[in-house]
Chains A and B, each alone.
Chain A
């Protein structure tokens, strides 16, 4: 119904040109779409009403209600907040035009050039003109001042929209028409500013109607934006009216931006107040800082004033570190704070003075001067704190050192002392031997010197403890306790050492005493034991006695022994006493050692056992001796019986022997007479035999009784037997001798006279008259017959005898010696002198060998006859020859050839020269001959 009118509105602002271009486009579109006019009419009407309601009025029809210009003026007044000239009150057309002009003039006065809009058209109700005029008003008052970052109003609004909707992904505002069709842009704007009013996440892009209605309803209800368009208006058109949308959006802008502006205004007030507030803040800040600083000082000062020493170096050093931290880290900011506080205070006062405000008066006690004095107090406290710390650390260091020294020394000492108490309390000496006790004593002496050496240490420890006390060591109690325990232990050790020494010495003395007793025991027990052993041996001795006297002497000895028993018993008791003494000492002094007598292997039990044995043996011995006594009496009877017999038989045999001897010695009678007598004698002897047999019987009894001696007779059975046998043999031999003499006499042709001569000599020297000469008799006989057994030559009566001897000799040796012996006849005395006794004995021994080769010790008449007949024929010896040669050699041990030739007949001389070996001894001239070797060889003698 509205005609399309070309708008000729021109703006004098900078962007008119651009705007107009758009306008033309927009106008063309507008003309093409009557829907836009409808939209504009609706939108603008709502916009006008939204302002007019503040003045208590509204319009119904936009082209009708502004025709008189009154409501238009009212609208402008409401919008601008300024008063317009008083409208004309007439209802006349010119009145209406005047009023409209007044409105238009006001708009113009606001810098808007209204091109081709005249009051008449408005008054006439030209829709197009009216809408254009309203749009101009909207542009000027609702949009123009939307200027974001120097852009045009439209761009500004667009930019605002873009900025506000930027976070919403499905909203892309590029213009003021199609971009708004889905309604999300409106919703986004609302949500952005009032998220409480809309739940954006539930919106759907495909529900434009719902979206738009929601946005418009919320805007109307909560944002005081009247509904300027219907949702259908926007949806049912391909391109919504730009002006309508812009107007609508501008309302949103104002609704939100208005709030912002209010804020800005408030801020402006705040700025004004800000200074005040700032000042107050500064004051508060000052107060706060001052409080804090004061609080810090208040807190810190006591810490610095606290000079309570810590116990350990570590703690002290931590304190020093704390102090260092305080000086390095905590204090510097506070210094700065203090400085800042003063500056702040001055600045604040200056500001207050400038803004003509009263000077700042800090609350009580927080004045700058207060702070300064507090600070001064802090500094005062701080001063000397470090020095104190260092001093304290040095003190602690010293203390630590001392304490460590104390600990070390104490530990050393404790280690040393540990177990000593136990060792000293040991009763080991109670079970020790003397040697061991002496060793223990030596050991103890060593310990005592060790102990003495430790005196210094203990004193040092005490001194250190004292120093620690003086230096007020924190753990003085512990040190004192330890020191005290060391000292106590030390005292105890001293006491124990003394006690132990006494105990050891006492034990040593006791053991020495015991040792002495042992020695005494050993000294006495050994001989006593020996005596007992000897006694036992004697008591058990198997005695073999042969006589009553022997038994009696044994009994006497036994009695004598018994007499010694009391004395021995005394000795035993003495030894027992010694043993008991040892036992008593051991028991009463509690010596536990298994004391063994080192000097003796004899035990007291042994001694007592032996003693008992001895005592038992004594009566046994008594019995044995008595028994023996009886046995000996029996023997004695046997002896007497035997002796009586033997004493008869012995002399009888002797008488017979003498008879026989007499028989053979009787001269005068013929050998045949003697024979007759001897035969008679033999008969008597044979008849005597039974006597001998009886004696044999007695002898057998004696032997069976083991009696071997008999003092009642000199005759033993053996004597009797030998005598009897001798008698038998003598009678037989004598008979035989007589027979032999008869034969010899007859054989050798020895005359009865010669035989009688031999016999008379023999009988003469047979002094025992038993038909045999013993050696002495024979020696005397030889001497009587001319044998010089003192010299070596037979001394015949006169030189004739000697010559006779030589003749016999020469007969035997082919007369070699004749000359030699003829020489000798002149030198017999000297020969006799040079013979020696021993040579005589030798010669006699040699002769005995010849006459008694069986060493019977007697020379029978037969052997005497043999010797006499032999000696008369052969009586030379090597000595005799040697002696003869020595005479020729004038006592030289050798003989010379010329001497032999001078002294001997030529034959014998040559014989000797040929046979004599050369003399080998010293000092002989060459050719000397050994006559000794020659002579001995001659007689079968060898020098060995």
Chain B
């Protein structure tokens, strides 16, 4: 009867290689939307680490994001060789109730 409080999980991924990483970022405080990954290209580095569309970007290279789109894009673009992301993911499997 009580709702599960943990619908989101935090996923930490490390992308290795170079840009393009193979995902599309959308939103930001500029657009009054959360920073969401909306697309992951098949066969890309992003796909390899199981990054998923719908993941909300929380931090880039250990820098916790304020939500600004500009900031997030700058951080991603300044990454070379590796890109460490923490995303908040909607757990698609519904939490079972006790």
| Chain A residues proximal to chain B, CB less than 8 Å | 654, 657, 714, 719, 722-723, 726, 770, 772, 774-776, 838, 841-842, 845-846, 848-849, 853, 855-858, 878, 936, 939-944
Contact = CB atoms under 8 A, between A and B. Distances in A.
Nearest to A943: B24
Nearest to B28: A940
Contact of A845 (B5, B23, B90): B90
Contact of B20 (A772, A774, A943): A943
Contacts of B90: 845, 848-849, 855
B30 to A, nearest CB: 7
B38 to A, nearest CB: 6
B33 to A, nearest CB: 7
A535 B10 CA distance: 42
Interface in B1-15: 1-5, 7-8
A842 B54 contact: yes
A854 to B, nearest CB: 10
B2 A723 contact: yes
B24 A944 contact: yes
Contacts of B62: none
A845 B27 CA distance: 14
Contact of A940 (B4, B27, B54, B92): B27
B73 interface: yes
A857 B31 CA distance: 24
Contacts of B38: 842, 846, 878, 941
Contacts of B31: 939-940
Nearest to A850: B33
A940 B21 contact: no
Given A941-B24, A944-B25, A855 B2 contact: no
When A and B form their complex, which 4 residue pairs have the shortest distance between CB atoms, in order from nearest?
A845-B54, A941-B26, A940-B31, A842-B53
A857 B26 contact: no
Contacts of B30: 940
Contact of A944 (B4, B5, B21, B28): B21
Interface of B: 1-5, 7-8, 19-21, 23-28, 30-31, 33-34, 36, 38-39, 53-54, 56, 69, 73, 76-77, 88, 90, 92, 94-95, 98
B24 A942 contact: yes
A754 B98 CA distance: 37
Contacts of B53: 838, 841-842, 845
Contact of A726 (B2, B34, B73, B77): B2
B31 to A, nearest CB: 4
B7 to A, nearest CB: 4
Nearest to A657: B1
Nearest to A726: B2
16 contacts: A654-B1, A657-B1, A714-B98, A723-B2, A776-B94, A841-B53, A842-B53, A855-B88, A855-B90, A857-B7, A857-B94, A878-B26, A940-B27, A940-B28, A941-B26, A942-B69
A841 B73 CA distance: 24
A774 B26 contact: no
Contacts of B73: 942, 944
A940 B21 CA distance: 18
Contacts of A775: 7, 94
Given A849-B34, A857-B95, A940 B69 contact: yes
B23 A944 contact: yes
A944 B76 contact: yes
Contacts of B23: 943-944
Nearest to B92: A841
Contacts of A846: 36, 38, 54
Nearest to A852: B7
B94 to A, nearest CB: 7
B interface majority secondary structure: mixed
A857 B88 CA distance: 14
Contacts of B20: 943-944
B24 A858 contact: no
Contact of A857 (B4, B36, B54, B92): B4
A848 B53 CA distance: 13
A914 B63 CA distance: 37
Between A657, A772, A776, A857, the greatest number of chain B beta carbons within 10 A of the residue's beta carbon is seen for A857
Contacts of B69: 940, 942
B98 to A, nearest CB: 7
Contacts of A936: 24, 26
A941 B92 contact: no
B7 A944 contact: no
Contacts of A657: 1
B56 A849 contact: yes
B92 A855 contact: no
A230 to B, nearest CB: 178
B47 to A, nearest CB: 12
A845 B56 CA distance: 10
A855 B88 CA distance: 10
B69 to A, nearest CB: 6
Contacts of B24: 936, 941-944
A663 B7 CA distance: 28
Contact of B94 (A770, A774, A878): A774
A942 B98 contact: no
Contacts of A714: 98
Nearest to A653: B1
Given A845-B53, A878-B26, A878-B38, 20 more contacts: A714-B98, A719-B2, A723-B1, A774-B94, A775-B7, A842-B38, A846-B54, A849-B33, A849-B34, A849-B36, A849-B90, A856-B5, A939-B31, A942-B26, A943-B20, A943-B24, A943-B39, A944-B19, A944-B25, A944-B77
B56 to A, nearest CB: 7
A774 B94 CA distance: 9
A467 to B, nearest CB: 97
B80 to A, nearest CB: 14
A708 to B, nearest CB: 15
A190 to B, nearest CB: 163
A516 to B, nearest CB: 56
A718 to B, nearest CB: 10
Contacts of B95: 857
Nearest to A719: B2
B7 A855 contact: yes
A650 to B, nearest CB: 9
A941 B25 contact: yes
A942 to B, nearest CB: 5
B19 A857 contact: no
A838 B25 CA distance: 16
Contacts of A719: 2, 98
A339 B16 CA distance: 139
A634 B2 CA distance: 31
B61 to A, nearest CB: 13
A680 B20 CA distance: 61
Contacts of B88: 855
B26 A939 contact: yes
A775 B54 CA distance: 15
A849 B32 CA distance: 12
B14 to A, nearest CB: 15
